[in-house]
Amino acid sequence: MYTCTMDINDLRPDYSQSMDVRGVPTHVCPCGCEIWNLKVIFDSCEIATYFLDMECANCGTLATAPTPLDREEDEE
């Protein structure tokens, strides 16, 4: 079994293939990654607000974060 130990502060996107796909909310980057860097505001130890611009943790692509309203539109 292979394990990799890396400090979280060393995790940086490789911007060589990054894109700007903002506009349509998504939860998966075109590179396949599902981990995003977002700016958030905490209130009482919970995420109270988040900015809609987000960056892929793997490739640095900029995208639009989904919201609960986007989920409702997908269900219709």
- Separation of alpha carbons 27 and 34, rounded Å: 6
Could you tell me if residue 36 is inside a domain? Answer: yes
Could you tell me if residue 8 is inside a domain? Answer: no
* Res. 75 pLDDT band, cuts 50 70 90: low
Could you tell me if residue 71 is inside a domain? Answer: no
Could you tell me if residue 27 is inside a domain? Answer: yes
Domain that holds residue 19: 13-64
- Note the pLDDT tens digit of each residue in 57-74: 989 999 999 998 887 666
Kindly report the number of other CB atoms within 10 A of residue 63's CB atom. Answer: 23
Share above pLDDT 70 across residues of the chain, in percent, rounded to a whole number = 86
Could you tell me if residue 26 is inside a domain? Answer: yes
Could you tell me if residue 57 is inside a domain? Answer: yes
Query: Is the distance from CB of 29 to CB of 38 less than 8 angstroms?
Result: no
Could you tell me if residue 53 is inside a domain? Answer: yes
